[in-house]
Amino acid sequence: MAKDIYIGEVAANEEIQIDYFLMKVTLPSDFTEPLPGQFVMIRIAGLHDPFLSRPISIYSYTRGKSNCAIELLYRVVGKGTQILAGLIKGSQVEISGPLGGSYSIDHQKKNIVFIAGGIGIAPLSLLAEALCRKASYSAAAMTFYLGAQTADAVVGLNRLRKLCYNLTVCTDDGSLGQKALVTKAFQKDIKKYSPSDTVIYACGPKAMVQSLSKILDGKYLCQVSLEERMACGVGACVGCVVAVKDGQGKPAYKRVCADGPVFDLQQIIWE
């Protein structure tokens, strides 16, 4: 899994919904095929405002004859993502990656449950794709809970529909699907999934993950992808840590970029 820094070319960059963009970046073919959950650090070469690169999950990967391409699904929240949103086709971006570890797809579990909040769909979508490619899993065995504040913030639905037949959409205001928090929607169904037969993959805002942690109460195998502010993205600055229980159950600070971004939910120590 070698990583390096590459000049990518923006092949497309579309506002698919208000404030949500889908960017396709063409990369040299030696860019390593990413695993689901991995991310890249992206920046505009030579521009120091904003200063740090931004971590964005890899949403898709395709290999062409002489190059490859990744897609990034992102939400404009500040200066960095705003600048990304302004890039036109043909612009160059600097991409470092693929970075971080991945969701583990080797569990032999009957039920596969995804729980995504908002933009958290990005890594989970790539994961669902990877699982679909595995012979042992069928789209029928996978259930996807997708939540967002409003219908406008539900992105990536169409692609997901092709990967996953059991799909529950919820919004905080009921403007699409159920009117419920995604964790509540899952909780209603929880009886369907016995802890020993189930693996849960989650990604979303901290509040969602925390509430999920309460609901699962340590009984389920749950892998969750976390976000923290990052500087290096490769484990060198020790800036992006979260508190987790280490092997001996003692608290330790682990780097989201290098030790994560995917963690066992049970290990995370909430303040």
Query: Closest distance between other proteins and the C-beta of residue 49, in Å?
Result: 7
Neighbours of 211 (CB within 10 A): 19
101 in contact with ligand FES (CB under 6 A): no
Query: Closest distance between ligand FES and the C-beta of residue 99, in Å?
Result: 9
49 in contact with other proteins (CB under 8 A): yes
Query: Closest distance between other proteins and the C-beta of residue 258, in Å?
Result: 7
Cis status, amide bond into 98, omega within 30 of 0: yes
Q: Quick one: which of 225, 183, 221 has its CA closest to 202? A: 225
For residue 198, give both structure tokens: 């189930």
Query: Closest distance between a copy of itself and the C-beta of residue 5, in Å?
Result: 20
Separation of alpha carbons 268 and 271, rounded Å: 10
47 makes contact, choosing from ligand FAD, a copy of itself, other proteins, none, with CB < 5 to 8 Å by partner type, with a copy of itself
Could you tell me which residues come within 8 angstroms of residue 226 by beta carbon, excluding any fewer than 6 positions away?
Answer: 209, 242, 256, 260, 261, 262, 263, 268
The interface mask with ligand FES, positions 189-228, x = CB under 6 A, is: ----------------------------------------
Separation of alpha carbons 178 and 180, rounded Å: 6
Separation of alpha carbons 99 and 225, rounded Å: 13
Query: Closest distance between ligand FAD and the C-beta of residue 138, in Å?
Result: 26
- Residue of 16, 77, 237, 269 that binds ligand FES (CB under 6 A): 237
User: What residue ranges bind other proteins (CB under 8 A)?
Assistant: 2-5, 43, 48-53, 94, 96, 228-243, 251-253, 258
